[in-house]
Chains A and B, each alone.
Chain A
């Protein structure tokens, strides 16, 4: 455990000391929110206040998915391509410990992003933060973030190169974006595609994050989606560890 904490602190420190990356990571979800509210807020039927309540959970979900899949790969990939991991390999640390450290670091970053978006939404757009909703959301968001980051780590493990990891992550991100009801209603999809979408991890993530924030209650499919999320988490963790790469060549 002590090892885990020291290593996670080291990686969090490196992340905090990369101002450009940090700024972008934190600014991106806020920008997303601002754009949505400014562009669509005034025309919304429910009025701007209603629109804000509705869009904030969506922005949080999108960010969890895009940071986990795309953003969280970069720390691992950079350390691998720079040769840091090769040196680490000469030590007796286990891959599962390293995996846990990478996941924890990225989860912390994503929690910070989420907290910032929510705080910004409350202060700038009058988003109403209700305590019971937040309390209910917290463990589900944590699960969603961990799952999303674990998927990103799996992409890193499977990609020999940074560029490939980014490409794969983006494809997975956009495919899920349009097939799991995150940006367009699933009724618009062909039936078979909608059925596939319901089994993708982003579907579970969206459901688990949006309902509690939006309604203060679990969605009708919460149990199914919790199961799906845990299954994906275990599988992606196991595969990411199994196929972990220490070096980018050879």
Chain B
């Protein structure tokens, strides 16, 4: 393993609401490496926002440790807050201040006084220049979301925590924000995004942590999570061979006819394909077309969720 210094270390974190009546985090441990885009995945109520709140110093955990770039959040909250940029899931902006005024005010909260030029450049990154003098309350939901993202960068943070950053964006704006998040990473910043959009996590994140009911149920690269779920790829093949023969190919879990194609499920698609060509040649059959669909993070995620539901049912 490489020894990149950790951006965020969370150890055995427990957090609750309403004086312990609602347990939101139940022993979460994770490490976010410096310079990576880390995804927090999980269903509604899993504890993603609570975890981010503990890192941001917005929620005091019941026990456990959180440190950011080696600094303990509970002991030195302000030192940590200076290094962080935060976009909260529900951002309320002061609705009758303009985008530019808000950026200036939020910068001042960090004791930063960027020039107007710098602030306009920040608005430019989020395609908000034309709206610089528009009041926040008169922006559309997606525009407000982009402004919230711009606000998260106003203190030039080393670590950026984004809670569902693309939740109300149109597909184009979503891709623009993805590009921006990659850009943040390329500038050497660490980015953590909480999301339940699996395509987003798969596209963006080097690693993801899957949380369910306040516990981390899996953590690793999207490819590793998909591999660990041992899901089958789907091969759609146009070939004149009996299904029984196809089913006998290596690594095949099932094969059936659908719309004139053979639909083959295989856990080792490369191996199955090679064997399929050999088989076709020996039967003088030609393989007219092949389409392979690999399992996605979404399928791996759904599998993980149903497994963790089963284990918690067993525990109960």
Contacts and interface: CB of A to CB of B under 8 A. Distances in A.
Interface of A: 2-3, 6-7, 10, 13-14, 17-18, 79, 82-84, 86-93, 246, 250
Given A89-B57, A91-B106, 12 more contacts: A6-B104, A6-B105, A13-B101, A14-B96, A79-B94, A82-B92, A84-B94, A86-B88, A89-B58, A91-B155, A93-B110, A250-B59
A93 B90 contact: no
Most buried by B among A7, A10, A90: A90
B97 A10 contact: yes
Given A6-B104, A91-B110, A92-B110, A84 B92 contact: yes
Nearest to B106: A91
Interface of A is mostly: helix
10 contacts: A2-B113, A6-B113, A7-B105, A10-B105, A87-B88, A91-B110, A91-B155, A92-B77, A93-B109, A246-B58
Nearest to B110: A91
B266 to A, nearest CB: 48
A105 to B, nearest CB: 12
Contacts, number: 74
Contacts of A250: 17-18, 59
B82 to A, nearest CB: 5
B252 to A, nearest CB: 52
B56 A90 contact: yes
Contacts of B104: 6, 10
Contacts of B56: 90
A90 B78 contact: no
B109 A88 contact: yes
Contacts of B97: 10, 13-14
Top 8 closest pairs, chain A to chain B, by CB: A83-B92, A91-B109, A6-B108, A92-B78, A17-B96, A10-B105, A90-B86, A82-B92
Contacts of A14: 94, 96-97
Contacts of A10: 94, 97, 101, 104-105, 108
B41 interface: no
B105 A83 contact: no
A162 to B, nearest CB: 14
A90 B88 contact: yes
A3 B104 CA distance: 10
Contacts of A90: 56-58, 81, 84, 86, 88
Contacts of A17: 96, 135
Given A13-B101, A90-B57, A250-B17, A7 B108 contact: yes
A84 B65 CA distance: 27
Interface string B68-101: 0000000001110110101010111110110001
A86 B78 CA distance: 15
Contacts of A18: 96
Nearest to B56: A90
Contacts of B77: 92
B90 to A, nearest CB: 6
A10 B100 CA distance: 11
Nearest to B86: A90
B50 to A, nearest CB: 10
A87 B92 contact: yes
Nearest to B83: A92
